[in-house]
Structure 1
Amino acid sequence: MMTVLFKSILIVEDEMLIAMDAEDSLETAGHGVAKIARTVSEAMRALQDNQVDAALLDFNLPDGTSAPIARWLQEHGVPFAIVTSQSPNQLSGEGLPHSRIYQKPSDYAAIAQELAEAA
Structure 2
Amino acid sequence: MFRSQVVAEHLPLLRRYARALTGSQASGDAYVGAMLEALLQDPTLLDEQHGARAGLFRLFTRIWNSVSVNGGADEVPTLAPTERRLTNITPLPRQAFLLLSLEGFSEDEAAFVLEVDIAEVRRLSGIAGREMAAEIATDVLIIEDETFIAMDLESLVKNLGHRVIGVARTHADAIALAKTKEPGLILADIQLADGSSGLDAVNELLRVVEVPVVFITAYPERFLTGERPEPAFLISKPFQPAMVSAVASQALFFQRNSRNREPRAAAS
TM interval, short-chain normalised: 0.7 to 0.9
* Higher mean displacement: 2-11 or 58-67: 2-11
Question: TM-score w.r.t. structure 1 length?
Answer: 0.84
Give the distance between the partners of 2:225 and 2:176, measured in 1 at CA: 26
Query: In 2, are the aligned partners of 1:71 and 1:96 still within 8 Å (CA)?
Result: no
Aligned twin of 1:48: 179
SS in 1 for 2:138: coil
Task: Provide closer, same or farther for how the CA distance between residues 44 and 92 of structure 1 changes in structure 2, counting only shifts above 3 A.
Answer: farther
**1:72-87 pair list within 5 angstroms:** 72-75=204-207, 76-87=209-220
More helix by percentage: 2
Q: Please give the per-residue CA displacement for 1:2-57, whole angstroms capped at 9, x wherever unaligned.
A: 62133210010001100110111111111111111111110011111212101000
Unaligned ranges ≥5, structure 2: 1-130, 256-268
SS in 1 for 2:200: helix
Percent identity of the aligned residues? 26
Aligned twin of 1:68: 200
How far off its partner does 1:97 sit?
5.8
Match of 1:117 among 242, 253, 260: 253
**1:1-119 pair list within 5 angstroms:** 1=131, 3-61=134-192, 62-75=194-207, 76-89=209-222, 98-106=231-239, 107=241, 108-119=244-255
Partner letter of residue 70 of structure 1? V
Task: Provide closer, same or farther for how the CA distance between residues 48 and 96 of structure 1 changes in structure 2, counting only shifts above 3 A.
Answer: farther
Query: In 1, are the aligned partners of 2:213 and 2:233 still within 8 Å (CA)?
Result: yes
Unaligned ranges ≥5, structure 1: none
Give the distance between the partners of 1:21 and 1:31, measured in 2 at CA: 14
Query: In 1, are the aligned partners of 2:223 and 2:230 still within 8 Å (CA)?
Result: no
Query: In 2, are the aligned partners of 1:6 and 1:116 still within 8 Å (CA)?
Result: no
RMSD of the alignment, in Å? Answer: 2.3
Q: Please give the per-residue CA displacement for 1:57-105, whole angstroms capped at 9, x wherever unaligned.
A: 0011124111222213433211101111112325769x86643221012
Structure 1 moving runs of 4+ over 6 Å: none
Query: In 2, are the aligned partners of 1:7 and 1:53 still within 8 Å (CA)?
Result: yes
Query: In 1, are the aligned partners of 2:140 and 2:183 still within 8 Å (CA)?
Result: yes
* Higher mean displacement: 28-37 or 98-107: 98-107
Question: TM-score w.r.t. structure 2 length?
Answer: 0.40
